[in-house]
Structure 1
Amino acid sequence: MTLRNTISQIWYTRCPVPTPVGLATQLGLLDEAFAKEGITLSSIIDSKDRAIRSSHFDHHLQYSFRHGGNVPPIRARSEGNPTRLVGITWTDEFQAIITLPGTGIGTTRDLVGRRFGIARRPPGIVDFMAATALKGLVSALSLEGLTHKDVEIVDIPLPDSVLDNREGPQLYGLRNRQAYGPEIAALLRGEVDAIYVKGTPGIGVANLFATHTVTEFGFHRDPKIRINSGSPRILTVDERLAEDRPDLVARLIETLQRASAWAEGHPDDVRRFVAREVGASEEVVAAANGPDLHKHLGIGLEPDLVDAIGHYKDFLHEWGFLASNFDIEQWVDRRPWAEIETRAVA
C-alpha cells in the first residue's frame, strides 16, 4: 500500500477571523476537495480533547494545516516544530488605541506618562494577545515619534490559559469568550488609562462602552504600521504533510483560491459568512473590515507578504516572545505553488 492511500484524515484549524479557509469551509469546498482523495477533515479547535486543541497554538499534530493569526505558528517554528509556511492572506482590520471619556487623553501625544494596559496570560501557550497589543502600541506611538518608553506599561494579569476560553459554564453556550473584557474592566476601575483593541471584538467593545478613539491605524497607508498578529495571516502545514503529500497542499491552496475568487463576486454573502465566523453582526464586520472585505481574502506567497511576516517575526524576537530567532526564507515552501503553475500549463 502506498503512502498516498494511507492518509485518511487531515487535521485543520482556523482562527475566528476572516480567512479563505473559513470561507471555503462554510462553502463546503474543503470537504469536497479532500473527499475526492478519500480524506476526512477534522477540526482541531472544535475537538473536545484539550491536547488536540492545543495544536491550534503549537502546531504539533502531524498531517495538519492552520490558517489564522501569525504569532502561534511563528512561535511554534521558533521552538523547532517542523512546519512550512505555504500561504499568506492580508485582510486589514480595525486597530485602535482607546480610552474612556474624561481621562484627558485626546491624541496619541497625550499618552505620554500615562498607563497603558496589557493583558498577560500565564506561562505556557505564547501570549499572542499581549504581543498584539504591544505591537499596536509601538505602531501608534511611532506615528508621533514616540516610543514605548514614553508611556507606563501596566500588566493586567489573567488567571487562565487561552485554552480555557473554550471551556466552562461562563461561556453561556457560546464558543468563545468576549475579547477585551479584562482590559475594559481595568479601564473602568481606573487602573489603566488606555488599551489596544482590534477587529470585530475590538470595535464592538469600543462601541458598547462609548470609548474615545485616541488613534486608529488599521488601514494606515504604511504597511509596517498595520502589520500585527492578524495583518497578515498565514497558512501553515506540518512537515509530514508538506513532504509526504505536497499534492494535497497544492490542492488545499487551489481550493482556497476558488473561495477567494468566489468572494470577489459575492460581497453581501462574504459579509454574512464572516459575521457567522467571527460571532458578530454584519454591521460590525463592515465597520471592522471595511466595504471591500470581499476583495481582500486572496492568498499568495509574494515577496512583500513574506517580508511582512519577517518584519513581525523580528518584532516578536525583539520583545522576547520567541524561543529563538530563525530565517523566514527557510520556513517558506513554494513547492505547492510551483505544482499549481505546472498544472495550469499542462
Structure 2
Amino acid sequence: MSKTNRKNNEIIYTICPVLVASHVAVAKGWLDEEIKKAGGSLKYLRALPCEDWLAHFTHTRSDFFRDGGNIPAIWTRSEGRKTKLIGLTFTTDGGQIVTRTDSGINRISDLKGKKIGLFDRRKTDRVDFWRATAERGIEVALELNGLSRKDVKIVNLVQEGPDYASTQPVRNPAEFWNNRSVNNLTSSPANRLEIDALLSGEVDAIYASNGRSQGYQATGEVKAIEDLGRYPDWTAHIANSPYTLTVSTELAEEQPQIVVGYLRAAIRAGKWIKQNPEKAAELFAPVIPYWSGQQGLAQEIAKYDFVPNLSPQNLKGIEIKKKWLIDHGYQKNDFDVNAWADSSFLDQALGSKKAVKTPRVVKARSGSARKVSLLS
C-alpha cells in the first residue's frame, strides 16, 4: 500500500455516487471539521492526479476512507488488502428490469426466450462491479418470477476503453459529478452501452438501479417491468448495498481518533438527513447524477436510516453478497466478514465507549426472513 502523507497528516477519502451520509457530511463541512479536530487534513481522492483514482476500487492506499458500493470493498478485502469495515448503510433499491416502452414486454415472464443485455468490462485491473450488480439483479428477478438464466439469452455488451470521460482533478464529489462530461445518463461506457443496446433493439431488457431507471423512464422511451425493491424479502434488495464504509487498517491502528472523527461526522449527517429529507435531497442531487428530479429523490431518502451501523442484518447482507461473488467467479478468495467488521470506532463515535482499545467484532446472525434459494 502507498504510505500516508506524514508531512501534514493528509487523509484521503472517496465516496461512490450513492445514498450515504458521507456525502452530506462533506457538503455541510462536518467531515472536514471532525478530521481537523482529530489532527488530520482531509483531501478528496479525485483532487489527486488521475492516475491515483484507481484506488477508489482497489483500496491500495494506507491513508484512506472509502464509502459506497459493497462489491469493490468485498473484492479488495478478498485480495488481501488490509482494511476494516466500520459502517454499513442499507437501501432497499434492489434495482429494476427495464425494457423499451413499445416492446410489448410487460412482465418478467414475457422475457422467456428474449435477450437481456449485461455489461462486460474486459480490463482486469479491478472487479467489474457494474456487471456483478446487474447480473445478480437479473438472476434474482428471473427466479422470483419462476424463470432462470436458461430461459433467456444473456448478451454481453463488451467495453474495452476508458471507464469515464477524462476530467481534471477536482476538490470534492460535487465538483466531479457536476462536470458535464460525467453528469448524464450516458456519461459512462456502461450506461451508454446498455441503453444504446436496449433502444436499438440489440437486446430486449437491461437491469438498472432505481435512480438510473427513473432517468431512463423520464425520456418516455423506457419502462420498468420489475422492481426488486417491492418484495418483502429483504435479501432481494441486496445489490451494491449494503453500502460499505471502510478504512485502511494502518490508518485505523495508528490514528483511531481519525476514524472516530469520520464516523462522528457521518452519524451527525445521518441524523440530519432523517430530519431534513427535502434539504438533504438538494445536497445529494449534485452527487447522485442519475436521479431524475429532487422530489423523487427526497421521497427515496425518507425511506432509509443513514446513520452508519454494523447490524447483524446488514452484516448478513454482506455475507450473502460475498458468497454470490465467489460462486459467480468475481473473486477467488473467501474471508470472515465478522473478523473484517470492527465496531469499536462506531461504539465510541456513538458515545457508548470512552476510548478505542480492543476492537470488538459484531457477529452476524442468520436472519429468519425467507430467502430465495440463489441469495443464500
Could you say whether these structures have the same fold, taking a TM-score greater than 0.5 normalized by the shorter chain as the test? yes
Partner of 2:88: 88
**Deviations for 1:230-269, whole angstroms, at most 9, x for unmatched residues?**
x210100011012112222122112211111111111211
Letter in 1 for 2:326: H
CA distance in 2, matches of 1:14, 1:290: 22
Partner of 2:368: none
Letter in 1 for 2:313: D
Partner of 1:321: 330
Provide closer, same or farther for how the CA distance between residues 209 and 324 of structure 1 changes in structure 2, counting only shifts above 3 A. Answer: farther
Does the alignment pair 1:204 with 2:205? no
Does the alignment pair 1:302 with 2:311? yes
Provide closer, same or farther for how the CA distance between residues 107 and 205 of structure 1 changes in structure 2, counting only shifts above 3 A. Answer: same
User: TM-score of the superposition, structure 2-length normalised?
Assistant: 0.82
Asked if structure 1 preserves the Cα contact closer than 8 Å seen for 2:285 and 2:294, the reply is yes
Deviation at 1:214, TM superposition (A): 1.5
The alignment yields a C-alpha RMSD, in angstroms, of 2.4
Asked if structure 1 preserves the Cα contact closer than 8 Å seen for 2:31 and 2:262, the reply is yes
Query: Please, which of 262, 265, 288 is the counterpart of residue 275 of structure 2?
Result: 265
Deviation at 1:294, TM superposition (A): 6.8
Partner of 2:181: 174
Provide closer, same or farther for how the CA distance between residues 138 and 90 of structure 1 changes in structure 2, counting only shifts above 3 A. Answer: same
CA distance in 1, matches of 2:179, 2:33: 33
Deviation at 1:7, TM superposition (A): 6.3
CA distance in 2, matches of 1:88, 1:73: 11
CA distance in 2, matches of 1:247, 1:182: 44
Deviation at 1:35, TM superposition (A): 1.4
Asked if structure 2 preserves the Cα contact closer than 8 Å seen for 1:91 and 1:289, the reply is no
Does the alignment pair 1:24 with 2:31? no
- 5+ residue gaps, structure 1, are none
Secondary structure of the residue that 1:109 maps to in structure 2?
A: helix
Provide closer, same or farther for how the CA distance between residues 308 and 295 of structure 1 changes in structure 2, counting only shifts above 3 A. Answer: closer
Deviation at 1:211, TM superposition (A): 1.3
Asked if structure 2 preserves the Cα contact closer than 8 Å seen for 1:11 and 1:41, the reply is yes
CA distance in 1, matches of 2:30, 2:132: 33
Secondary structure of the residue that 1:117 maps to in structure 2?
A: strand
Deviation at 1:203, TM superposition (A): 1.6
Deviation at 1:325, TM superposition (A): 1.8
**Deviations for 1:113-165, whole angstroms, at most 9, x for unmatched residues?**
11110011122221111001101101111211222222111100112242x44
Asked if structure 1 preserves the Cα contact closer than 8 Å seen for 2:92 and 2:234, the reply is no
Does the alignment pair 1:34 with 2:35? yes
User: TM-score of the superposition, structure 1-length normalised?
Assistant: 0.89
Asked if structure 2 preserves the Cα contact closer than 8 Å seen for 1:94 and 1:289, the reply is no
- 5+ residue gaps, structure 2, are 169-177, 356-376
- Superposed, which structure 2 residues align to 1:326-337 within 5 Å? 326-337=335-346
Secondary structure of the residue that 2:46 maps to in structure 1?
A: coil
Percent identity between matched residues is 31
